[in-house]
Structure 1
Amino acid sequence: MKIITKNERNSNERTVCSLKEIEKRKIVEHNDLIMSVAKMDKTPLKIFELAVSCIDTEKLPKNHTVYLSKAELFAFFKVDDSNKHSRFKEAIKVMQKEAFFEIKEEAGKGFKFKSIVPIPYVEWTDYNDEVLIRFSPEIMPYLIELKNNFTQYALSDLVELNSKYSIILYRWLSMNYNQYEHYSVKGGRRNGQLEEYCNPSITVKELRAITDTIKEYQHFPHFENWILKKPLEEINAHTHFNVFYDKIKKGRSIDSVVFHIEKKRQADDTSYKLEDKAYIEGKKAKEETEKDLFTEAMQSRYTTLLLENMLLSPFEMQDIKLMSGLQAHVYPLYDELKDLRGLNGVKDHLSYVSSKREEYSKRNVAKYLKKAIEQYLPTVKRQELDHE
């Protein structure tokens, strides 16, 4: 998190948060807070998100306090009329008296429920541009020193979201897609689990709960219009995501919704990720693993056999991703065949594969070889059982 300016006030160090570099600012929150029920309207929720983006996640704000600029606060909400000050006061009043989070956490054999007013104190003057915002101590564990189960997203994605439901849905989608990005780099999840992260499912009941619409929009077409269609129109137009969804029926009713999330290719994607320590560390670990696998593949007898059968070219041998993929996913299957039929069995298989190789396989060698051995191995195993 980049700190814009620092100075002293009443001998206490403080941070003034600027929106001038909004594209670089991020919001980091615990997943329990993402899954909580936001009992507040759009404006208090956006003020909260804006204030959270000012927190250095590795350093506790002094007195749980951050400072915003009024001018930039109004710019964030795109407010430029003469009533903006009175509207701001009204929003603060509502946020302190009516806005809170209902958080549900697993505890022992059941659940623990918390009701937290996130920002109980706000201070400003009519002659100064700064606004003091103080978080409640109870909300801070969900915002700082987060080691796991947290979600990070760009503040800039929220600027044009004009619906409470758009913001809530965007946060939930980010929570799932973040896990997809994290585990696709660092590993630790099966392909099926990765697919679920970028195609997350939620029951209508759960979606009603987190959007606080259990008693609203009882007619599903109305619910779909206000909670799904309109929010996704905003999300697709103004955030890093493109999202569409499928409705899943159970009997005659819509039981759940499956979202399909794609991240837009943008010029700032790389720079955005480069600031993410987990991404950098994960990328380095993945590159080291690929190098180790590449070295093993270059020394493998199977690589020589692939060359002899013209299933691999010297040019392709220079491709680290290709060779590490063969070592990780194909060569272990050749080991199984070798245990059953010996090295000559592997040679016979590759000779046959080479004679039947289709044109499309030239564009994806590893996929073709993996599919071929996966189809052949069960036959060999059945033959061995019959022989026994």
Structure 2
Amino acid sequence: MSEVDVEERKKQIQEISTRKVAEHNDLISSVAKMDKTPLKIFELAVSYIDTDNPPKDNTIYLSKKEVFTFFDVSDNDKHRRFKEAVEKMQEQAFFKIKEKKNKGFKFKRIVPIPYVEWNDYNDKVTIRFDQAIMPYLIDLKNNFTQYAISDIMELNSKYSIILYKWFCMSYNQFEHYQYKTNRTKKQLEAYKSPTIVVSELRELTDTVDDYSRFDNFEKRVIKDAIKEINSFTHFNVEYTKIKKGRSIYSIQFHIVKKENWGNPNYKADDNKAKLTEEQKQAQLQVKYAIAVANPYTMMLINSSLLYAMDIANQETIVNLSEHVYPVYDKMVSELGQEALETHLEYVKRKMVDYTDSKKNIVKYLNVAATQYISSRLSMKQMKKGG
């Protein structure tokens, strides 16, 4: 890439970084029946809309150069790929919108961009939005969310984009109401730590028929998306799995906003946000609360493997959550809940006074659980072989 191209790209990135996307919450909560690329094209197009001066004939004009910058495409095949992405968007992409009405719900299916025009002799791309989608993009007096298109730019998963928008919808309400008197402390906390039932999360991410095993769903849809969001947007997010019976019923997300994100002087280390001490403490509190609420913590207390001094030690409880509880998850998945209960009873008998002989409780429980799983799986394999 020549120096001229590099400077042009810098200008385009700067231009993109100044624009915002505003969408009605009903659209953010809808099901986007489309892949990552059509969804990002739609988001980029929406960033061109001035809600104070809606586009004439619902038509906006993009720059092909900016589109290629947005998708970080610079190879000779970029025009063909752009054409394929547009065709796919028009042939397959639509929103399933569910609006709550007095008597129930109203359902809509909207193809957002039915008309796209470009040529091979200038830089202009003409995009016309469908009339049915416009109220969700310009009639934004109430119940709408605004976010930076530059945050969307770096996200490479459809699930990352969907969850990021949903987080913005919730956290923006916290920012809107935090200094007002018409919301309780509990309501404000719910905006910062929104909860969603797993079945609703599957519907939102269009994965009702995908990733039937929860561990696959968690990795592909939740963990991978949050890793991207934490790296490339102004949020740091943790989450808690909430059980009903033996199944994961809902997910509670805990959102912390990064300080000075978007500032030209902001510097990140390998795309990981540097948090202030206050934010680090806030995030530690979130992790601690998640760990304390984990059912394994209560099991360890009931087994007399954790005492009051352990519960009061935030570092210990957080480290248990990060280094021991995943091993317990594996144990339950591979061997069943009874195996974990048997294992904890065994550890209780062996570890009479860990405060003197087993000072590193996290390491001790991790090693004990790992060895137990290995031993039990080996025995199962030998029985099969026999």
Specify the alignment match of 1:223 in structure 2: 217
User: 1:72–1:180: structure 2 CA closer, same or farther, 3 Å change rule?
Assistant: same
Specify the alignment match of 1:105 in structure 2: 99
The reply on whether 1:259 has 2:253 as its aligned counterpart is yes
Residues in 1 aligned to 2:134 and 2:253: alpha-carbon distance in whole angstroms: 31
Aligned residues of 1:166 and 1:231 also touching (Cα < 8 A): yes
| Displacement after TM superposition at 1:145 (Å) | 2.9
Amino acid at match of 1:75: T
1:77 to 71, 77, 82: 71
SS at match of 2:98: strand
User: Which blocks of at least 5 consecutive residues in structure 1 are unaligned?
Assistant: 1-17, 271-388
| Displacement after TM superposition at 1:110 (Å) | 1.1
| Displacement after TM superposition at 1:227 (Å) | 0.7
| Displacement after TM superposition at 1:185 (Å) | 3.0
Kindly name which structure, 1 or 2, has the bigger radius of gyration based on alpha carbons: 1
Aligned residues of 1:39 and 1:101 also touching (Cα < 8 A): yes
Aligned residues of 1:58 and 1:145 also touching (Cα < 8 A): no
SS at match of 2:106: strand
| Displacement after TM superposition at 1:233 (Å) | 0.4
4+ residue runs of structure 1 moved beyond 2 angstroms?
A: 267-270
| Displacement after TM superposition at 1:262 (Å) | 0.3
Deviations for 1:343-374, whole angstroms, at most 9, x for unmatched residues? xxxxxxxxxxxxxxxxxxxxxxxxxxxxxxxx
Specify the alignment match of 1:52 in structure 2: 46
Aligned residues of 1:38 and 1:212 also touching (Cα < 8 A): yes
The reply on whether 1:164 has 2:158 as its aligned counterpart is yes
Aligned residues of 1:152 and 1:174 also touching (Cα < 8 A): yes
Specify the alignment match of 2:324 in structure 1: none
Residues in 1 aligned to 2:180 and 2:80: alpha-carbon distance in whole angstroms: 49
The reply on whether 1:193 has 2:151 as its aligned counterpart is no
Deviations for 1:107-157, whole angstroms, at most 9, x for unmatched residues? 231111000000000000100101011100000000003111001111110
| Displacement after TM superposition at 1:24 (Å) | 1.5
SS at match of 1:214: coil
2:29 to 19, 35, 42: 35
Residues in 2 aligned to 1:69 and 1:186: alpha-carbon distance in whole angstroms: 41
The reply on whether 1:148 has 2:142 as its aligned counterpart is yes
Residues in 2 aligned to 1:145 and 1:209: alpha-carbon distance in whole angstroms: 25
1:176 to 170, 189, 205: 170
Aligned residues of 2:98 and 2:105 also touching (Cα < 8 A): yes
Deviations for 1:213-259, whole angstroms, at most 9, x for unmatched residues? 00100000000001110000000000000000000000000000000
User: 1:57–1:185: structure 2 CA closer, same or farther, 3 Å change rule?
Assistant: farther
User: 1:111–1:123: structure 2 CA closer, same or farther, 3 Å change rule?
Assistant: same
Q: How is 1:1-388 mapped onto 2 (pairs within 5 angstroms)?
A: 20-266=14-260, 268=262
Aligned residues of 2:26 and 2:99 also touching (Cα < 8 A): yes
Aligned residues of 2:57 and 2:128 also touching (Cα < 8 A): yes
| Displacement after TM superposition at 1:72 (Å) | 1.1
Residues in 1 aligned to 2:248 and 2:262: alpha-carbon distance in whole angstroms: 38
User: 1:35–1:267: structure 2 CA closer, same or farther, 3 Å change rule?
Assistant: closer
Aligned residues of 2:234 and 2:261 also touching (Cα < 8 A): no
Q: How many residues align?
A: 255
SS at match of 2:132: coil
User: 1:45–1:267: structure 2 CA closer, same or farther, 3 Å change rule?
Assistant: closer
Residues in 2 aligned to 1:213 and 1:101: alpha-carbon distance in whole angstroms: 14
SS at match of 1:256: strand
| Displacement after TM superposition at 1:19 (Å) | 5.3
Amino acid at match of 1:205: S
Amino acid at match of 1:145: D
Amino acid at match of 1:113: F
Residues in 2 aligned to 1:164 and 1:103: alpha-carbon distance in whole angstroms: 17
| Displacement after TM superposition at 1:267 (Å) | 5.8
Amino acid at match of 2:149: L
Aligned residues of 1:59 and 1:145 also touching (Cα < 8 A): no
Residues in 1 aligned to 2:262 and 2:160: alpha-carbon distance in whole angstroms: 23
User: Which blocks of at least 5 consecutive residues in structure 2 are unaligned?
Assistant: 1-11, 265-386
- TM-score normalised by structure 1 residue count: 0.64
Identity across aligned pairs (percent)? 64
| Displacement after TM superposition at 1:62 (Å) | 0.7
Greater CA drift, 18-27 or 197-206: 18-27
Aligned residues of 2:194 and 2:254 also touching (Cα < 8 A): yes
Amino acid at match of 2:239: Y
Residues in 2 aligned to 1:142 and 1:267: alpha-carbon distance in whole angstroms: 27
- TM-score normalised by structure 2 residue count: 0.64
